[in-house]
């Protein structure tokens, strides 16, 4: 009986700690979302599509090095049930070596990139962003220690502060007429600030590398995660290389702004909830029942937030582009609308990745990446002749077709079934459809003569109100959110 009480107490403690971390992460990512949107809106009015296109040409190719920045070793540190000081120190030095190598490779690739696009300015852009890989690598293990201990309040504060410094630098450079260099400064300032903050917050100083640290299994785990990230990156970014090569900086700039804007909600939700899910699920991997229950609750929150964002983006695509980016970017509205299905699809499939790697099934995730990458690359090749709009449509279509096979494959032999997820998805989806109809009616009522900002705000209020009412009261999901909030309150009182 005593063991059962201790287990129950441990479960409540972990649940409350995870909820507390999750709420902190959501608040932070919500703030980061507003900061990013404001930053994009500001730079879109200070820089031209051509400026964005030039940097996107380089990043589309050098971004492949990002898959190696952590070498998957942050995930290895978090997922490992027990890990020693010597092992973490050894992983730190591996990260540093990888960071140095990536910086050198990025600088060495500058001339080939410039020649590939036949654009001399890309040479110095590639050289300038190279040090960012080492700056990122120096804080990988310190950030992993914060995540392992669910210190997401601290982690979030550092992330937000570093983001603000980078953005301020970018805006100041843009105001003083430095053009595309305003986009490069944050790629150095933000990771430098992040790594410094992580070192100070953990107070951890790595030891010198020693033999016998026994990190082979950790390197193997990290290698699989890294290869998975690499394949996914190539699959999800090949279209930018094709657009830059065949359509030039201007069309690529239009596409990347729409792509970045449409990707912010998915990245924000995944960063806020996914990291917490991974940390908590890694602790529960030996208890299938607890893991399933916790995962489905976290998944419910993700879908409940993802659906209305998807609907809002689709219905008000023109208003969002006009308000956020300005009138010179109106051509991006069609691209933005064609990309909106990706918000929902990625919101549905991304959480399965955290389930797989937290339970040691990282190889399956890798095999799935090898399957989806050729699918989306073929879709880009089909759409490239129609320009950015054709690529956006073909990419969204490929992801929609991949949705069910992904769920069926990823959930096989796990405590979670595809039926579990479908039951979670159906109520937010139906609520979203009803809310979208109400938003369309509001949009029609206001008419084209009303400003884009008024239509955007009014439509968002109508959609959010209808969605919340239908989901929480008609479909009875209020108890789910109450449970999360009560857990947070218990944790807050315990901390006080």
Which pLDDT tens digit goes with each residue over 424-449?
899 999 999 999 999 999 888 888 78
Q: How far apart are CA 367 and CA 347, in angstroms?
A: 20
pLDDT at 293 over 90: no
Q: How far apart are CA 180 and CA 176, in angstroms?
A: 12
Domain assignment present for residue 8? The answer is no
CA 372 to chain CA mean position, Å = 18
- When mean pLDDT is compared across 122-131, 144-153, 487-496, the lowest value belongs to 487-496
pLDDT at 465 over 90: yes
Q: Is the dihedral of CA 21, 480, 4, 361 positive or negative?
A: negative
Domain assignment present for residue 334? The answer is yes
Q: What is the mean pLDDT of residues 5-23?
A: 51
pLDDT band at 495 (very low <50, low <70, confident <90, very high): very low
Q: What's the pLDDT at 29?
A: 67
Q: Is 285 strand, coil or helix?
A: coil
DSSP state of 137: H
Measure Cα distances from 272 to 152, 204, 254, 460 in Å: 9, 24, 28, 22
pLDDT at 494 over 80: no
Domain assignment present for residue 456? The answer is yes
Most trustworthy range by pLDDT among 74-78, 126-130, 357-361: 126-130
pLDDT at 110 over 60: yes
Q: What is the mean pLDDT of residues 92-112?
A: 89
Judge whether 137 and 206 are in contact, CB under 8 Å: no
pLDDT at 2 over 50: no
Whose CA is closest to 91, among 197, 206, 228, 212? Answer: 206
Helices (H) and strands (E) in the chain, counts: 23, 0
How deeply is 214 buried, as exposed, middle or buried, from its count of CB atoms within 10 A (0-12, 13-18, 19+)?
Answer: exposed
Domain assignment present for residue 3? The answer is no
Domain assignment present for residue 422? The answer is yes
Q: What's the pLDDT at 44?
A: 85
pLDDT at 17 over 60: no
pLDDT at 395 over 70: yes
- When mean pLDDT is compared across 78-82, 184-188, 240-244, 297-301, the lowest value belongs to 78-82
**Residue 61: domain span:** 19-495
More confident residue, 277 or 336: 336
More confident residue, 225 or 427: 427
- When mean pLDDT is compared across 115-124, 283-292, 306-315, 364-373, the lowest value belongs to 283-292
Q: Report the alpha-carbon angle 318-469-476, nearest 5.
A: 130
Domain assignment present for residue 14? The answer is no
Domain assignment present for residue 460? The answer is yes
More confident residue, 119 or 228: 119
pTM score of the predicted model: 0.71
Domain assignment present for residue 10? The answer is no
Average pLDDT, the chain: 82
pLDDT at 63 over 50: yes
Helical H segments across 412-477, by residue range? 418-446, 452-469
What is the number of structural domains in the chain? 1
Which pLDDT tens digit goes with each residue over 134-179?
998 888 888 888 877 767 778 878 888 898 999 999 999 999 988 8
Q: What's the pLDDT at 214?
A: 66
Q: Is the dihedral of CA 13, 15, 18, 21 positive or negative?
A: negative
Which pLDDT tens digit goes with each residue over 176-217?
988 889 999 999 999 999 999 989 988 888 887 776 556 666
Whose CA is closest to 319, among 463, 462, 459? Answer: 459
pLDDT band at 482 (very low <50, low <70, confident <90, very high): confident
Q: What's the pLDDT at 211?
A: 67
pLDDT at 20 over 60: no
pLDDT at 491 over 60: no
pLDDT at 218 over 90: no
Q: What's the pLDDT at 147?
A: 78
Residues 6+ apart with CB under 8 A from 177: none
pLDDT band at 6 (very low <50, low <70, confident <90, very high): very low
Q: What is the mean pLDDT of residues 305-312?
A: 92
């Amino acid at each position: 009986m005593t063991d059962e009480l201790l287990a129950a107490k441990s479960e409540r403690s972990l649940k409350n700690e995870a909820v507390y971390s999750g709420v902190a992460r959501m608040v932070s990512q919500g703030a980061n979302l507003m900061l990013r949107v404001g930053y994009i809106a500001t730079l879109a009015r200070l820089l031209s599509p051509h400026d964005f296109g030039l940097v996107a040409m380089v990043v589309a190719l050098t971004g492949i090095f990002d898959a190696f920045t952590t070498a998957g070793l942050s995930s290895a540190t978090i997922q490992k049930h027990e890990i020693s000081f010597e092992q973490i120190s050894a992983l730190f030095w591996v990260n540093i070596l990888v960071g140095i190598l990536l910086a050198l490779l990025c600088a060495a690739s500058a001339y080939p990139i410039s020649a590939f696009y036949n654009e001399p300015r890309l040479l110095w852009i590639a050289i300038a962003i190279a040090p960012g890989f080492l700056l990122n690598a120096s804080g990988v293990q310190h950030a992993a220690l914060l995540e392992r201990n669910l210190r997401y309040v601290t982690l979030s504060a550092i992330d937000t502060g570093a983001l603000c410094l980078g953005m301020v630098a970018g805006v100041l450079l843009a105001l003083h007429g430095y053009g595309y260099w305003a986009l490069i400064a944050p790629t150095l300032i933000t990771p430098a600030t992040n790594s410094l903050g992580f070192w100070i917050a953990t107070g951890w100083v790595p030891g010198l590398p020693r033999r016998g640290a026994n990190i082979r299994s950790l390197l193997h785990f990290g290698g699989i995660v890294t290869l998975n990230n690499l394949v996914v990156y190539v699959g999800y970014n090949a279209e930018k290389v094709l657009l830059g090569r065949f359509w030039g900086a201007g069309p690529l700039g239009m596409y990347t702004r729409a792509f970045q804007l449409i990707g912010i909600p998915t990245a924000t939700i995944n960063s806020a909830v996914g990291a917490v899910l991974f940390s908590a699920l890694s602790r529960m991997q030996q208890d299938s029942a607890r893991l399933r229950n916790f995962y489905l609750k976290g998944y419910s929150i993700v879908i409940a937030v993802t659906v209305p964002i998807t609907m809002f983006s689709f219905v008000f695509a023109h208003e969002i582009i006009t308000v956020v980016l300005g009138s010179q970017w109106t051509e991006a509205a069609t691209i933005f609308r064609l990309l909106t299905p990706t918000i929902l699809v990625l919101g549905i499939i991304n959480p399965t990745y955290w389930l797989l790697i937290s339970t040691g099934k990282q190889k399956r995730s890798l095999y799935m990446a090898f399957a989806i990458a050729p699918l989306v690359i073929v879709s880009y090749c089909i759409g490239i002749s129609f320009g950015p709009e054709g690529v956006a449509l073909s990419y969204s279509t490929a992801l929609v077709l991949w949705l069910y096979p992904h769920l069926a494959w990823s959930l096989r032999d796990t405590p979670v079934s595809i039926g579990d997820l479908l039951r979670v998805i159906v109520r937010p989806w139906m609520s979203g459809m009803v809310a979208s109809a109400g938003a369309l009616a509001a949009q029609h009522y206001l008419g084209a003569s009303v400003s884009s900002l008024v239509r955007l705000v009014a439509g968002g209020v109508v959609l959010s109100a209808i969605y919340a009412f239908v989901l929480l009261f008609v479909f009875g999901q209020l108890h789910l959110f109450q449970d999360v909030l009560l857990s947070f309150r218990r944790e807050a009182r315990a901390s006080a």
